A and B are shown apart, each in its own frame.
Chain A
């Protein structure tokens, strides 16, 4: 197990992220008290673990304490390990270890991001997907925080929705197609902003939305 230089900062950070994530997904607050009750642990133990003041914080928790926290959140649907907890949930992706997917050249019909869904042409690029039902959306403005104007989003219209996919969706409150992160709990679909600034949106059948599909590929512009 790798320890970061400041693993004592990692645990409070990770706990906060997990609890905030759970509160956001479940659309109800989740407190340290509730976590302590669920884990059948003293409330004071968790408070000391997550204390913002380093002088009052426990910096050498027992491994079984961390295991119980990880098991609880795992059972609740979060993908977390003890390493993540120690790391502050930084979720590092190893670049060197990546294997490049096999790709084939595909021609994709391109549409604008406006709700009118105007066809603007087509483009050929290398894609790993074999799906027959794909379209491209060409962004004419930055899609914060990651994608510059001119980035091309490839949408698979046939892919079923899953937790933590990006989706392209037309919502009543916006004149343009939006890219959102999708979370699913049982049959409820929750959309979160890529910037995490806007409020989450719970999709309901009464809302007049059009879900275009899952974003499977982005040909991004480099700054």
Chain B
């Protein structure tokens, strides 16, 4: 029981310290786009980690997309377009279709 109480207060202290140092949110920062064996991959770095992680575009978009800043999303689109073809820009806007 004492151990449980100690752990609880340690957790609270950890939360307080992280807030104080601005270490609350884990951010993902996309760095590079590249193609390999016909698939798209993205290298990114995460908060508090020194190494780059390499994921396929499908995995990255499933796990990290909604956490990205809007500017990063736009830049990913520009990079993706450049990776795929000349004069190509890719966007991920939600658009409405007005049918005939």
Which chain A residues have a beta carbon within 8 Å of chain B's beta carbons? 90-96, 98-101, 110, 119-126, 128, 138, 145-146, 152, 159, 162-166, 181, 195-197, 214-223
Closest to B85 in A: A166
Chain B residue numbers with a CB within 8 Å of A163 are: 86
Docked CA distance A162–B85 (Å): 10
Give the Cβ gap from B81 to chain A, nearest Cβ, in Å: 7
Give the Cβ gap from B65 to chain A, nearest Cβ, in Å: 5
Contact in complex: B97, A214 (CB < 8 Å): no
Interface of chain B, main secondary structure: mixed
Most chain A CB inside 10 Å of its own CB: which residue of B40, B89, B96, B100:
B89
Contact in complex: B88, A215 (CB < 8 Å): yes
Most chain B CB inside 10 Å of its own CB: which residue of A95, A110, A181:
A95
Docked CA distance A145–B97 (Å): 24
Tally of chain B residues near chain A (CB < 8 A)? 46
Could you write out 24 A-B pairs with CB less than 8 Å apart?
A90-B35, A90-B36, A92-B32, A93-B80, A93-B82, A93-B83, A94-B31, A95-B33, A95-B76, A96-B75, A100-B71, A100-B78, A125-B93, A162-B86, A163-B86, A165-B85, A166-B84, A166-B88, A195-B38, A218-B89, A218-B91, A219-B91, A219-B95, A220-B92
Chain B residue numbers with a CB within 8 Å of A214 are: 87
Contact in complex: A98, B78 (CB < 8 Å): yes
Docked CA distance A90–B62 (Å): 23
19 more A-B contacts (CB under 8 A) besides A98-B78, A215-B85, A217-B89?
A90-B35, A91-B83, A95-B32, A96-B29, A121-B98, A124-B96, A138-B97, A145-B39, A146-B80, A146-B84, A162-B86, A163-B86, A165-B87, A165-B88, A219-B90, A220-B77, A220-B91, A220-B92, A222-B92
Docked CA distance A221–B77 (Å): 11
Docked CA distance A99–B98 (Å): 31
Question: Is residue B47 contacting chain A, with contact meaning CB distance below 8 A?
Answer: no
Which residues of B (20-42) have their CB < 8 Å from a CB of A? 29-36, 38-40, 42
Docked CA distance A163–B72 (Å): 28
Docked CA distance A95–B74 (Å): 10
Task: Assess A91 versus B90: contact at CB under 8 Å? Given A121-B99, A218-B81, A223-B62.
Answer: no
